[in-house]
Amino acid sequence: MESIQAIKQRFGIIGNDPKLNRAIEKAMQVAATDISVLVTGESGVGKESIPKIIHQLSHRKHGKYIAVNCGAIPEGTIDSELFGHEKGAFTGATQTRSGYFEVADGGTIFLDEVGELPLTTQVRLLRVLENGEFIKVGSSKVQKTDVRIVAATNVNMFEAIKKEKFREDLYYRLSTIEINLPALRERKDDIHLLFRKFASDFALKYKMPTIKLTDDAVQMLIKYRWNGNIRQLRNVAEQISVLEHNRSIDTVGLRNYLPDSGQNLPAVINSTKSESDFSSEREILYKVLFDMKGDLNDLKKLTLELMKSGNASEVQKDNEGLIQKIYGEDDAKSEDTNTNLEVLSIPETSVASVTPIETVQQPSITEDKYHFAEEIEEEEPLSLHDKELELIKKSLERHKGKRKLAAAELGISERTLYRKIKQYNL
C-alpha cells in the first residue's frame, strides 16, 4: 500500500495536519471494499479529493468515475439524470436516455452536496444502496447496477433529518464510513504552506515574480478565520498575484484582500430573524410601553392627592399600596420616599396667611384649579391596532414613503409592511 505522503503527492494534497492525515488514511483503508462513504466538512475544504483517492485505490479504478453535483441539477430533472428515462416519459423526452447509475455500472459515483437531494429522489437512491436496483423514469422495468457510491455534504445532517429534509435511513446507509475533513482554520500550520504553493503556481501561470508575505502578514494570514477555507485562500493568493505591483506584501496590503479582517471572532452568528421573532419583540415593546403609561397615571393620581390634601403623611398612609407599586416595596419604606412626599406637600402656613375673602373662595378655586388632574385619572383607551397604524404612518413619513427603509426601521419584512399598508388603506 502507498504511504500517506505518496498519496498526497499523487493527488496534489498539501498539508501535514493530523486530522487531514487521518482522513486520507481512512480513505486508503476503505478503498479496497465496496462500503458506502460519506465525506463531511465545510464548503471549500477539498472534499472532492477523497472520492478520487477511494476510486483510484479500489478494484474499480478501471471503471467509470462520475462526479454529480446534486445541488446544481433542477429538482424536476434529477431523477432522469441519475436513473435515466424512457422515450415519451415526459415532455421533451424524445429518446431513451441512460442515467449515471447505468453508465457508471462497475465504477464509482460521487454524489456531491447529497443533502440537497429531493425526498422522492432519496427514496430511489435508498433502493440502489440496499439492493442495487433502479427504475428509469417512465419505465416499469427493474434494472440492476453495481456502483460504488461516495457522497459528500457540508450540511449538518442531523439538523436536516430533524427538519425532515433528509431521510434518516438513507443517512445511515450512506455513512457506513464517515470521513470528516477539517476546516482550514483548524489547520493553522498548513495555511502559509498552502498560500506559498498557490503564489508559486500563479507566478508561473501569469509569468511574474512570486509574491511573498512579511512576518506580520503571515501572522495575520494564520489568524484569519477563512470561512471559505482553501477555496477562499486560493482566490486571495490569485488576486494579490495579479493586482499587486509590489511583490512583498505587508499587513496593510494583505488586509485589503481579507473581508472583515478586523472581525475574526470564532463565533457563528445567525443574522436571520423570522417574522415571528419580530412580532414577539413588538409585543414585548408594547407591553413595556403600556406598563410605563400605567405607572405614570398612578404617579399623577398620587400627585393629585398630595395637591388636594397638603398632608404627606396622611396621603402616604391612605395610598400605601399605590406608593409600593410605583417605588417598589423597599423604596416605599425608605426615608427618601417620605422626604419626596413631604416636598410635594402644601405648607399649612400658606393657608393660614390667606385673607378671609380668599378663604371663602378657596373651595371653588381649588376645584377649578385641579379639574385637569381629575381628567388624567381616566386612562386613555389603548389599541394595538391604533399604535401599529401610528408607527407605520410615522415611519413612512420619516422615510418619504420608501417602504424598504420603513420596514427596516420597524423590524418587519418589506412584504409584511406592504400587506399592512393595504390593510390600513394607507
Hey, what domains does the chain have and what are their CATH numbers? 4-182 (3.40.50.300), 186-255 (1.10.8.60), 298-377 (no CATH), 384-424 (1.10.10)
Closest CA to 174 of 106, 105, 117, 120: 117
| Phi, psi for 110 (deg, rounded to 5) | -105, 110
Cut 0.85: pTM above it: no
Total residue count of the chain as it appears in this document: 426
| Vertex 106 angle, CA 104 and 110, to 5° | 50
Report the sign of the C-alpha dihedral through residues 112, 115, 116, 120, in that order: positive
Query: What is the pairing mode between strands 108-112 and 133-135?
Result: unpaired
- Give the angle 157-160-163 at the CA atoms, nearest 5°: 155
> What mean pLDDT is predicted for residues 169-191?
96
Q: Are 83 and 136 in contact (CB under 8 A)?
A: yes
Average pLDDT value for residue range 77-89: 94
Provide the 10 A C-beta neighbour count for residue 375.
8
Q: Which of 1-5, 142-146, 307-311 is least confident?
A: 307-311
| Buried/exposed code over 63-86 (b: 16+ C-beta within 10 A; e: otherwise) | bebbbbebeebeeeebbbbbbbbb
Which residues lie below 8 Å from residue 208, measured CB to CB, with a gap of 6+? 241
- Average pLDDT of the residues in 166-170: 96
Contact (CB, 8 A) for 143 and 136: yes
Partners of 66 in the beta sheet?
A: 109
First to last CA, the chain: 75
Q: Alpha-carbon Rg of the chain, whole angstroms? A: 37
DSSP letter assigned to residue 70: G
Model pLDDT, residue 294 = 76
What is the structure's pLDDT at 76?
87
The answer on pLDDT for 350 being more than 50 is: no
Name the grid cell of 240: 494579490
Q: How far is C-alpha 342 from the chain's CA centre?
A: 56
Position 373 scores a pLDDT of: 45
Percentage of residues of the chain with pLDDT beyond 70: 76
Host H or E run for residue 406: helix 403-410
The predicted-structure confidence for 302-332, as pLDDT tens digits, reads as follows 777 776 666 666 656 666 666 665 555 554 5
The mean pLDDT of the chain is: 82
